[in-house]
Amino acid sequence: MKPQTKSTADDPNARAVLSGVRVLDFGRYVAGPYCATLLGFLGAEVIRIERREGGEDRYIAPVADGGEGGVFFQTACNKKSITLDPGRPGARALIARLVATADVVVANLPPSQMKKMGIDYATLKAVRPDVILTTQTAFGDEGPYAARGGFDGVGQAMSGAMHITGVPGAPVKAAAPYVDFATATLSTVGTLAALLHRERTGEGQEVKATLLGTALAVFGSHLAEQGATRINRVGTGNLVQTSAPSSVFATRDGHVLTHVVGNGLFRRWARLMGEEERWSADPLFQSDQSRGDHSEAIVARMEDWCAERTTAEALAALEAAGLPAGPVYTPQQALDDPQVAAMGYLHAIADYPGLVRAVPVSGLPLSLSGTPAIAPARPPLLGEHTDEVLRGLGYTDVEIAALRDEGVI
């Protein structure tokens, strides 16, 4: 893991593309906070606003003595933290002063709560006309489900993905919350587009993302097939239904995943099996879909081949044949993989109070040659920057003390 570097707040990087942009993060859990995190990796100053006792997302999957967890470490690096009780008198005035200094506000809160706090778009725009509001909801602001809340798993369930991922009678949810993280990523794309538009026109705007919309987009190819053909596929677990051999196969000491797509790769696989003529000449195996529809013999041959080899032996032979494959790792094996280390995907956060050992955190998993991203620095302690931020808004120490006595901060 790469050693952590100082945050942009401590060491501004003039080459970072969003240097000078201020983001207010009112988000919770993943879709909102991780959007703000990505903007921070691109150089923005991000201020996390949370309740005085801390948001629930701070304490999921604890890794530190104070209860701070893995979700918080992945979604709160490179941020400042202030605490705020939005229900207290004086809170809205404080929020308005914050908004007046902000370029972007990120919030995945219920619309009614946003309006009550004074961070709905109409209220924000009255304070700062060119502000950009980025929101994430479960279902959007129209339709019969507009008032419903939801989490990542709801998107997985309602997109059809769980039905296909599992087997008949046993749908399966992916452990990775891909709907949340993809929604955050799409929100970031929308926010960047809005910032570019503002640079050109001086106009702010509202960016809206939804968990269901993201889930449908990610599962879109399957939905396109279903809509056009009414094929009504059922789940087949790890077995891909549109090519072969594309599945997970047991080796002598583990498992490997292969994905053989296209006639060229299938011919390579047939040569690796030592039976190119048999497989290439069979009329049932002339296209990906036909191979997927008649995969039993192909899969059985691959199962036998893998069962005779260790994982390392199978992967070496598949790589030599030019066939995409990978080992099925435990989480610890993923952390220990030499390719992960070589690319510097994970950064060690070691200086957060109460850690037994360093926490590996993913930075921005892409490279920008001209405007490099900021590496993750430790997430903030609860309310760590409250006084600093309020002083920057013009509050005196006496006023800050009064707000604290009144329970506002």
DSSP of 270-282, one letter per residue?
A: HHHTT-HHHHHH-
SS3 category, 167: strand
Mean pLDDT of 130-147: 96
**What does the pLDDT average to over 39-43?**
97
Q: How confident is the model at residue 5 (pLDDT cuts 50, 70, 90)?
A: very low
Q: 323 and 272 in contact (C-beta within 8 Å)?
A: yes
Q: What is the pLDDT of residues 371-384, one digit of tens each?
A: 999 999 999 999 99
Q: What is the mean pLDDT of residues 84-98?
A: 93
Tell me the C-alpha to C-alpha distance, in Å, between residue 351 and each of 1, 85, 404.
15, 28, 27
Torsion from C-alpha of 274, 277, 278, 281, nearest 10 degrees:
150
Report the CATH number of the 246-250+255-327 domain: 3.30.1540.10
By the 8 A CB rule, do 271 and 301 touch? Answer: no
pLDDT 10s digits, 310-350: 999 999 999 999 999 999 999 999 999 999 999 999 999 99
pLDDT in tens, 223-267: 999 999 999 999 999 999 999 999 999 999 999 999 999 999 999
* CA atoms in the 13 A half-sphere facing the CB of 400: 16
Summary count for the chain: helices (H), strands (E): 19, 12
Q: 182 by DSSP, 3-state: which?
A: helix
Domain boundaries, the chain: 2-218+334-405, 246-250+255-327
Portion of the chain with pLDDT greater than 70, in percent: 97
The reply to whether domains 2-218+334-405 and 246-250+255-327 share a CATH topology is no
Cα separation of 254 and 310, whole Å?
A: 7
How high is the pLDDT of residue 10? 46
Confidence band for 7, pLDDT divided at 50, 70 and 90: very low
CATH code matching the domain that covers 2-218+334-405, chosen among 3.40.50.720, 3.30.1360.120, 3.40.50.300, 3.40.50.10540: 3.40.50.10540
Q: Tens of pLDDT along 95-136?
A: 999 999 999 999 999 998 999 999 999 999 999 999 999 999
* DSSP letter (8 states) at residue 355: B
**pTM for the full model?**
0.93
In this predicted structure, the answer to whether residue 6 has a pLDDT above a threshold of 90 is no
The residue length of the chain stands at 409
- Does 9 score more than 90 pLDDT? no
Predicted confidence at residue 15, as pLDDT, reads 80
